[in-house]
Structure 1
Amino acid sequence: MTAPSLVLGTAGHIDHGKSSLVRALTGTDPDRLAEEKERGITIELGFAQLELPSGRTMGVVDVPGHEKFVRQMVAGATGIDVVLLVVAADDGVMPQTREHLAIIDLLGIPKGVVALTKADLADPDWIELVIEDVRTLLRDTSIDGAPIVPVSSKTGAGLPELLAAIDSVADEAVSRQASLTMRLPVDRVFTIAGAGTVVTGTLWSGSVERDAQVEIYPSGVRGRVRSVQMHGAQAEKAVAGSRVALNLAGVERDEIDRGDIVAEPGSLTVTDRFDAHIAYLASEEKPFESGTRVHVHHGTREVLGRVLFMDVPALPPGGKGVAQVRLEEPLAPRYGDRFIIRSYSPMWTIGGGVVLDALPPRRTTLKPYERELLEALIAHDLSSAAIGLLSSRALPMTSAQIALALGVPRAGVADDLNKAALERLKVGNETYFVTEEAQQHLLGGIERELLAFHAANPNATGIAALALRDRVDRRLEPKVFDALLALATTRAIAALAEGQVRHPRAASTALAEEEAARVALVPLLRSQGLAPGTVAELATAVGIDAGVVRKALTKLVAEGTVVRIGPELHFDADVVSTARDRIVAYLKEHGEILARDARDITGSSRKYIVPLLEYFDSQGITKRDGDSRTLGRLG
């Protein structure tokens, strides 16, 4: 039996016989919970495996039909490739039939079959009327024209025809993206004694195998796949579209929950907002006002959020538009993901949409290039979208980063980027692309922030590179900012020295003062020998601000002219070397030395010799043993 690469999901009104039909088709009872057995309804997602006449196998998700459990229905439907819409022949179309079909349509499930169950309870004329009602209901939906097959789970009538119809539709269905990175929305979490944490779900994309490293989104917890199962059987590897269970090592039960996503490390963006193309159901009576609080269902997670429309105050029933969805809890969506919107209270399905940009700036008024980006994403024009994303982010990005943001393979955008009129930054072995406008803006930001820093800090000789990056744009990777700084130096916008950045036309007075302090401190410390002054005393002696003196001392320490023993204690390096030689010679002759002996042979005092000996201990020159010291390993 080959592993399934497609998932069949049921949908339909409560008590229309979905679970009974799955049991008749697969031999598996999808009602897992005792409460489900007692109440006769499916509450959580039930799973089974279906073998079709052609030999193809499909994972089967039996989702609940009760209106109170539409949340679980959405969770199951997001992983479905082919839907089996169940309508009871004796009841016909019912409220949850309509809501489930709306969800199927909003999620863009492209293939389906309708099972007209309980056909043994209705006469042929009535069945024909119900079939016509269903055809009308399906019109203009994603499964318009789906085959309709009357069946009876009780007598078995119609089951062979239903299997043949599912087989035919499955043959036309497109399997999920195996070329993208691995992504598994979690619908169940439990523990097994001796094994640990186990999660189940439908593998949305990519593949997963034993020992693969994974990350849990949105928490960021990392772990390893200890083992892979498909329908209770061990497997070396599972591919996109499969129903899988993963035993995770390094992930505790309380570190992962239903609604999380298990994915390749670093492959998803955690966000509290995303831009989307929204569809509002025509069956609604009131306009969809911008700013409305709603329930957002993405994958197996449900969070609260608000929908803010771009440029319009509201959508009319049946309308479509671009909006930014602001979330109260984070999600990890990808471009092209479908989601469902349900009203805040009372809860019912009012619409849905497609994720466009997973990490946009906070705004509802679009700039021209932002509008072009969203239009390109709606049209699946990846070439224009890649350039538009660079314009929107206004940051240097690699082709891999752009592909990740768009949720497409790198090859899908790399050629277009290489051919485009873009600026390029070499960062190590990687090439970063950036629009000319964005690069000029960033270089201008470096110059503006440097001049502002010098104006506010006239005595400072420069600012640390990371601190400057935070002032310019903290989204920049440090290595990318370093490349921008290198470019800025070639254009005389910035100057780099000893880990600090300054503007070439600024800080000349501060630099001159610091150099004057440096020149004065060297002979002063040499003359003070083993009794140097504090920083404040040194500043008074040379007549220069203590802050400038401290910076000059730091540079003298870096070049080896001065030795820093503590925050306030600095010695001339040659003086320290002479003291070290005398102490080492004494130890070689006597074997051990006390603090008073070191004081006497160096001509120092206890105030200075004790910290100096502790410094020699830290350097391995001496080794302390109680009150005495012996020769260290480097003495």
Structure 2
Amino acid sequence: MGNLNVAAVGAPGLAADIGKKGTVSDMTFYEVKEGSDSITLIEPSKYPDKLSSLFYATEMSEFVILTVDKIDSFLGETIVMVDSQKRSKGWIVLRNYIQPEQLKPLIAGTCLEGYEFVEEDPTAMRIALIDMAKAEKRTAGDGTCGSCPVDSHFNVKGVGTVVLGSVADGYFKVHDKMTVWPVKKEVVLRSIQKHDIDAQDGVKGDHVGLALKGIESDELDRGFVCSTDPSIKMTQKVTGKVTYNKYYRGELKDGMMVHVGHWMQMVPARIEKASGKDADVEMSFDGQIIHKPGDEGVVMYLEGGKLRVIGTIVLP
């Protein structure tokens, strides 16, 4: 059973031509199924008004389709976001007679530099994406504990609490005991579904529905993490160097309020100390951020005008 999570960013509409429309929130999900293999396309339907919509869509994905119908600041911000999350596999679709030569200077030096320019042919794209999903051959045999950040949650009659999300790393299986962060509550994984089909395990990259025993839906929120991984931690303060993207002209200042994105979290943080782009930054979170040691967070400044993505920082 293979699955491929695809962020459909840039100009809207292409995902609807490739897949069947599913859940709609600040992201719109589209699905394609062929036998036991599937594609999940995620469109950031509230972007550019909500930067979080773009962040979550790309954060949940392993592959990106960037559709370009005009060259503007929102295209630039989208390129910077994708590059900050190091999504190095993808396609670029050009509309309105835009030529590759017009885009290449914008993606030079970014992870999008290796993207393939493809024709806008939804049927051919659907076939190629399914072939990619089949080739994933996800297995649970590596012995690695797994984590699933929560995108949405609800109560299902006769089933109980269900959360939806994409497996961030590792794997877990039915009947595993999991910890729900940040509440640190132990639950039992009653069942797993992938695209409405029962499964025995969840593997990195799977888009899953998890039925949990031991917690109520109203105790959960987007950004919580269900995990079997003992290395998961929560951090309230971070000191480290921010790696600025090459397009961000400003720099962090004492007292600025930023947001740090990781998994399905966008956590507000205050800059306590900043003394130039080459120096360490000290920041304090409004609450705590959930992560594994060494994970990277995307630093965003929502009042930043045309470019709200600053760069990245390594979490301790």
- TM-score band, normalised by shorter chain: 0.7 to 0.9
Greater gyration radius: 1
2:15 is aligned with 1:22: yes
Match of 1:49 among 17, 28, 31: 31
Q: CA deviation at 1:108?
A: 1.1
CA change 1:65–1:86 in 2 (3 A) is: farther
Percent sequence identity over aligned pairs: 20
Q: Match for 2:308 among 327, 344, 349?
A: 349
**2:7 aligns to what?**
9
Q: Cα–Cα, structure 1 residues 162 and 131, in superposed 2: closer, same or farther, change >3 Å?
A: farther
Contact kept in structure 2, 1:7 and 1:243, CA below 8 Å: yes
For 1:25, the aligned partner's letter is I
Are the aligned partners of 1:139 and 1:145 in contact in 2 as well (CA < 8 Å)? Answer: no
The whole-number CA distance in structure 2 between the counterparts of 1:176 and 1:337 is 23
1:294 is aligned to 2:258: yes
Q: What letter corresponds to residue 62 of structure 1 in structure 2? A: E
1:560 is matched with none
Following TM superposition, by how much is the alpha carbon of 1:147 offset from its aligned partner in structure 2, in angstroms? 1.1
Whole-Å separation in 1 of the counterparts to 2:192 and 2:139: 19
Match of 1:195 among 128, 136, 159: 159
Q: Distance in 2 between matches of 1:171 and 1:253?
A: 33
CA distance in 2, matches of 1:101, 1:60: 18
- Which residue is 2:118 aligned to? 149
* Residue of structure 2 equivalent to 1:64: 45
Partner of 1:333: 291
Q: Which residue of 2 aligns with 1:212?
A: 176
Q: TM-score, normalised by structure 1?
A: 0.45
Report the aligned-residue RMSD: 3.0
Q: Report if aligned partners of 1:113, 1:169 keep a CA contact under 8 Å in 2.
A: no
Q: Quick check: 1:179–1:205 contact (8 Å CA) kept in 2? A: no
More helix by share: 1
Which aligned pairs between 1:105-504 and structure 2 lie closer than 5 A?
105-116=83-94, 119=95, 122=96, 127=97, 129-151=98-120, 158-163=121-126, 166=129, 179-264=143-228, 266-307=230-271, 313-315=275-277, 322-345=280-303, 349-357=308-316
Q: Deviations over 1:378-405 (max 9, x none)?
A: xxxxxxxxxxxxxxxxxxxxxxxxxxxx
Q: Deviations over 1:554-606 (max 9, x none)?
A: xxxxxxxxxxxxxxxxxxxxxxxxxxxxxxxxxxxxxxxxxxxxxxxxxxxxx
Which of 46, 50, 58 pairs up with 1:77? 58
After TM superposition, the runs of 4+ consecutive aligned structure 1 residues lying more than 6 A away are 167-177
Q: Which whole-Å CA distance do the structure 1 matches of 2:135 and 2:210 have between them?
A: 29
1:115 is displaced (CA, Å) by: 2.2
* CA distance 1:166–1:236, change in 2 (3 Å): closer
Tell me how far apart the structure 1 counterparts of residues 171 and 178 of structure 2 sit (CA, whole Å): 12
- Aligned pairs, how many? 313
Instruction: Extract unaligned runs of 5+ from structure 1.
Output: 34-42, 152-157, 358-635
The one of the two structures with greater contact order (alpha-carbon pairs below 8 A, sep at least 6) is 2
Contact persistence 1:183–1:206 (CA under 8 A): yes
2:125 maps to a residue whose letter is L
* CA pair 133-163 structure 1, distance change in 2 beyond 3 A: farther
Tell me the distance in 2 between the aligned counterparts of 1:46 and 1:211: 30
C-alpha deviation, 1:219, in angstroms: 1.4
Measured after TM superposition, the shift of residue 288 of structure 1 is 2.4
Residue 80 of structure 2: aligned partner: 102
**Residue deviations 1:343-385 (CA, integer Å, cap 9, x gap):** 253675232314242xxxxxxxxxxxxxxxxxxxxxxxxxxxx
Structure 1: distance between partners of 2:125 and 2:137:
20
CA distance in 2, matches of 1:268, 1:136: 39
* Cα distance, 1:59 vs structure 2: 2.9
Distance 2:132 2:294 in 1: 23
Q: Deviations over 1:277-330 (max 9, x none)?
A: 422233334332255321112211122113456xx7122xxxx66434321211
Q: Which 5+ residue runs of structure 2 have no aligned equivalent?
A: none
TM-score between both structures, scaled by the size of structure 2: 0.86
Q: Structure 1, residues 7-64: CA drift from partner, whole Å, max 9, x if none?
A: 211111xxx23xx3223222x114x44xxxxxxxxx5222333458xx9643322222
Give the strand-richer structure, 1 or 2.
2
Aligned partners of 1:301 and 1:333: how far apart in 2? Answer: 10
Cα-to-partner distance string for 1:450-509 (whole Å, 9 max, x where unaligned): xxxxxxxxxxxxxxxxxxxxxxxxxxxxxxxxxxxxxxxxxxxxxxxxxxxxxxxxxxxx
Contact 1:106 1:338 in 2 (8 A): no
